[in-house]
Structure 1
Amino acid sequence: MVLSPLTVVLLSGVVGMGVAFLVWLHRDRPGAGPLAVFVVAASLWAVTYGIELAVPGLSTMERLVQIQLTLSVIIPVAWLVTVIEYAGYPHWLTQRRTALLLVEPAVFVTLVWSNHAHELIWSGRETQFVSASSVTLVPGFEVIYWGHMSYILLLILAGGVLLLRMLFRSNQAFQSQGLALLLAITVPTVIQTLFVLGVLPTAFDPTSLGYVASGAVLSVAILRGQLLDVAPVTRELGREAIFTEMDDMVIIVDDERRIVDINAAATALFDGDQNAVLGRSLPQMSPTLAETVPGPGEQTQTEMALDRGGSVRYYDVRVLPLYRAYGVVSGHLISLRDITDRRQREQRLDVLNRLLRHDIRNEMNVVKGNADLLRDTADTDERERLDRIISTVDDIVDRSNKIGRVTEALETEQHSPTALGQLLESVVSDAKGRHPDVAITLTCEDDIWIRGGPSVRIALEELVENAVEHQATDADRVAVEITATRADGTPGARVAVHDNGPGITDHEREVIRSGTETPLKHGSGVGLWLVNWIVRNLGGRMSFPDTDDSGTTVELQLPTAEPGHATDEPVAARRENAD
């Protein structure tokens, strides 16, 4: 059974109206509203064309052609609005731009319905047979109509360019969606163009059918959740919100270092609003900042000082290249993070560190020297007090030296494979030399290599010294047991130092675990703090396994390494790169 052109057109119109209704049910999705208008206009166009094929009167056919031309102006506008919403730029459709967009369609529709007075749209009233029982009116289109066709193609081309721009910036899922939109509008537009130019060898106008089919294809994609369910508008809105609201300053420049976008935080650098800054040259606005922008394809990171509001602020500046299609660099993204507070804290820590390591140590040596002189002429009671002063001074100086060694090691050392057994044997040998009355035993599995440097030795020495100093008052002899094994189930080495002392209090363990001290809760010294810093710097951890009344155990989990592995870069450089 072969359907007549009249039947095909009317059926497509009915199907199109059903599809439009289903699309309207999903109007909450980006672009679904204007797409429903698109399908309705195409369906009514098809129904009107079908009625034209069925009626015999010329005047009636002329009125139906006027209706079709009126409906045809809706389709390109609805298509463009669909693409704008789909791509995530609904803010482009301001009242002024919408009004300008509708000026030409309004003028065209006015001229269509007054054509009998001026014949600027078409002239002549020829008819042609589409089939044995169907006749259609074939107008002779004039210059205004061809101008309107140019406007239609311009709107469709604008939407196509917007889609292509999105395709080059999207992942595969969004690219397939964009291609579906682009193909759906291209096919009927080509058909319409070929028909009005007289290229198609038929009097039957398939344009309305093509637009109905396009609307149906896009609508099926919506109902299957393949198009507007996962529209890039959501992603674009999220990116825009992050860009707008983030505290870091962000500036986007093109390949000529003109400012093309800037967030609200960055406007404070230029003493103006965003609109006044856009399009300006960055070298003119901020020569110092412009010097950080590298050549095409390069990225940089640096710290710099900028004058802001009459005061100097310090920023961590990162510059990243922006790529468009085929790896072409289209500009750079400049982000500035205010590090003034961090820099001031670092300066204060440097001053305190220098004060602790040098000034206090020198002053303590003066105190000790004067105490030694007084001791020679003091009586017995005064000597005891002076001995206590000298002992306290020695402790302060030793603590200062210890912190200095650890700080220097953490900042400058390089990590390389270290034989754990040899390192522990050396630490135990030195400890026995300093404490001959202490029973120190070592048990270590063979061929264990750890990733470390000089600071590891400092940490192990500190643990042994801490175990010796905190000895039990009722013990016959201080005993320290050191055990080194491979960690069970995980890569790494386990070093446990056990003593028969009174143990570490719960609150001191909690201080080390939390990493903070308060006036009401603090540790008794810096030894365990130093060990914890060193181990964490290596990528390991320190813990306090539950023990009984027989003593205390401190356990270190250290990362292992392969013998002969390449040396790591300095810690300070790694920390700077990590920042």
Structure 2
Amino acid sequence: MTPSTRRVLLVEDNDSDAQLYAAMLQELQADTVDNPTATPTDVERVTALEPGLAELADREQTYDAVLLDLNLPDSTGLETVDRVVDADSDVAIVVLTSVGDQRLGTEAVDKGAQDFLIKDHVTPRVLAKTVTYAQTRKAQTKQIERQRNELSVLNWLIRHEIRNDASIILGWASALEADSPSEQRSLDRIEDASNHIVTLTESVGELISTLEDERTELDAVRLGAVLDAEVTRFRENYESASVSLTGGVPDVSVKANQFLGTVVRNVLLNAVDHNDTDTPSIEIDIHLPAAGDTDAETTTAEGGAEQEYVWVDIADNGPGIPAETKASVTEKAYSGDADGTGIGLYLVNKFMQQYEGEIRIEDNSPRGTVVKLGFIPAA
């Protein structure tokens, strides 16, 4: 199969440089006879930015990549990159810089270019690989942008439409009075299901929020206040389950953010959602790092140093997690039951990674699971 032709716009005012780059690309085009994976390339050259922008604005002339000199008669420096990005947000940009201008090339990438080349170091293969890489990177960036837009729409739909409807159902179910025990059981199931939907939409919305923004600022968050709030909320929504804080709640702060409650909530939900007993039981125990305590649990942090954590152990009396599943249960959407939520521990793991903490899954005795959350103490 003949590969499709790549169209490159070369914006370069220096005739000798332009002829060299065009010859390199043409040389690679000739290689397609012996190398079927090579990409045939058409080159259109302009000597200034304005005619280059006109080419990009012409919807009948679609370019895959732009080779862009930053020292043109009508434009110099990073403003040149800005104007090309504004003119065509879909085209891949490779900036051409002189020796000693590596910093300018890096700044151009920050401005929206996909890569840069130092003119004196360009070879045919380097040029071809760089243009191909730039196209691939641009396509990946556009795909990520589309996915983020889709996530934003989904987030809005979940938080507003689905959650609002579930809240209405919950409100009406709470207002109804049962005339018999069977009717009361039915109402209880409606309320439980509605509560579950509301909580699930919160979790999904928070997952989408953290996926949309990988930059996370961590603050000192009071662990005890969050645990108290989530336990109180859990008891109100799941009256048939018991949850207890053993040993009290110490006054300690950990490195986290506003989603710390989401972490605790999803571990609690996972414990009750997958529980096969009539009375799910959950115990929460907190272990503080003790100075000089050789028995304190530690983990090896970056650089080989030992990191002591504040550990929150959440133990349940459910069926447990199969040994072959423990290693992957936090790495992907997982559902141990047919009606499982499928995102609980995955979401927890996402946040714990942002917190630079740790999550461990262990067996409880005599049955059940212990989810151990390790948080870095806040200074």
- Which TM-score band (shorter chain)? 0.5 to 0.7
Shift of 1:474: 8.5
Shift of 1:440: 0.8
Residues 1:353 and 2:169 are matched in the alignment: no
In the alignment, the residues of structure 2 paired with residue 417 and residue 248 of structure 1 have an alpha-carbon distance, to the nearest angstrom, of 49
| Structural mapping, 1:99-110, within 5 Å | none
Which residue of the partner structure matches residue 555 of structure 1? 372
* Of 474, 482, 486, the match for 2:286: 482
Q: Does the C-alpha gap of structure 1 residues 330 and 355 become closer, same or farther in structure 2, counting only changes over 3 Å?
A: same
* Of 52, 56, 59, the match for 1:286: 56
Q: Which has the higher contact order (CA 8 A, sep 6+)?
A: 2
Query: Tell me, which stretches of 5 or more residues in structure 2 are unaligned?
Result: 30-38, 59-64, 105-117, 123-129, 237-241, 290-296
In the alignment, the residues of structure 2 paired with residue 318 and residue 520 of structure 1 have an alpha-carbon distance, to the nearest angstrom, of 48
Secondary structure of the 1:454 match is: coil
Deviations 1:182-210 (A, max 9, x none): xxxxxxxxxxxxxxxxxxxxxxxxxxxxx
Q: Does the C-alpha gap of structure 1 residues 408 and 478 become closer, same or farther in structure 2, counting only changes over 3 Å?
A: closer
Name the amino acid aligned to 2:197. I
| Structural mapping, 1:362-377, within 5 Å | 362-369=164-171, 371=173, 375-376=176-177
In the alignment, the residues of structure 2 paired with residue 449 and residue 384 of structure 1 have an alpha-carbon distance, to the nearest angstrom, of 41
Secondary structure of the 1:286 match is: helix
The answer (yes or no) to whether the contact 1:444–1:483 under 8 Å persists in 2 is: no
In the alignment, the residues of structure 1 paired with residue 270 and residue 172 of structure 2 have an alpha-carbon distance, to the nearest angstrom, of 30
Q: CA RMSD of the aligned region, Å? A: 5.2
In the alignment, the residues of structure 2 paired with residue 325 and residue 369 of structure 1 have an alpha-carbon distance, to the nearest angstrom, of 68
Secondary structure of the 2:320 match is: coil
Residues 1:324 and 2:99 are matched in the alignment: yes
In the alignment, the residues of structure 1 paired with residue 45 and residue 354 of structure 2 have an alpha-carbon distance, to the nearest angstrom, of 46
The answer (yes or no) to whether the contact 1:500–1:551 under 8 Å persists in 2 is: yes
The answer (yes or no) to whether the contact 2:358–2:375 under 8 Å persists in 1 is: yes
TM-score by length of 2: 0.57
Which residue of the partner structure matches residue 497 of structure 1? 313
The answer (yes or no) to whether the contact 1:283–1:290 under 8 Å persists in 2 is: no
Which residue of the partner structure matches residue 245 of structure 2? 440
Shift of 1:348: 3.5
Shift of 1:396: 0.6
Which residue of the partner structure matches residue 362 of structure 2? 545
Larger Rg: 1 or 2? Answer: 1
Residues 1:430 and 2:229 are matched in the alignment: yes
Indicate the larger mover: 526-535 or 326-335: 326-335
In the alignment, the residues of structure 2 paired with residue 466 and residue 255 of structure 1 have an alpha-carbon distance, to the nearest angstrom, of 63
| Structural mapping, 1:178-577, within 5 Å | 253-254=11-12, 260-261=21-22, 274=41, 277-281=43-47, 282-287=52-57, 296=76, 298=78, 315=90, 317-324=92-99, 335-336=134-135, 337-339=138-140, 340-369=142-171, 371=173, 375-376=176-177, 381-408=182-209, 411=212, 414-418=216-220, 423-431=222-230, 433-434=232-233, 435=235, 438-441=243-246, 450=255, 452-464=256-268, 466-467=270-271, 473=277, 478-485=282-289, 487-490=298-301, 491-494=306-309, 495-506=311-322, 509=326, 511-517=328-334, 524-558=341-375, 563=379
Secondary structure of the 2:362 match is: coil
The answer (yes or no) to whether the contact 1:541–1:557 under 8 Å persists in 2 is: yes
Q: Does the C-alpha gap of structure 1 residues 353 and 476 become closer, same or farther in structure 2, counting only changes over 3 Å?
A: closer
Query: Tell me, which stretches of 5 or more residues in structure 1 are unaligned?
Result: 1-244, 307-313, 564-579
Q: Does the C-alpha gap of structure 1 residues 515 and 543 become closer, same or farther in structure 2, counting only changes over 3 Å?
A: same
Shift of 1:545: 3.2
In the alignment, the residues of structure 1 paired with residue 95 and residue 180 of structure 2 have an alpha-carbon distance, to the nearest angstrom, of 74
The answer (yes or no) to whether the contact 1:442–1:481 under 8 Å persists in 2 is: yes
Identity %: 19
Shift of 1:493: 4.5
Name the amino acid aligned to 1:479. E
In the alignment, the residues of structure 2 paired with residue 537 and residue 319 of structure 1 have an alpha-carbon distance, to the nearest angstrom, of 33
In the alignment, the residues of structure 1 paired with residue 81 and residue 377 of structure 2 have an alpha-carbon distance, to the nearest angstrom, of 33
Q: Does the C-alpha gap of structure 1 residues 514 and 488 become closer, same or farther in structure 2, counting only changes over 3 Å?
A: closer
Aligned length: 299
Name the amino acid aligned to 2:151. L
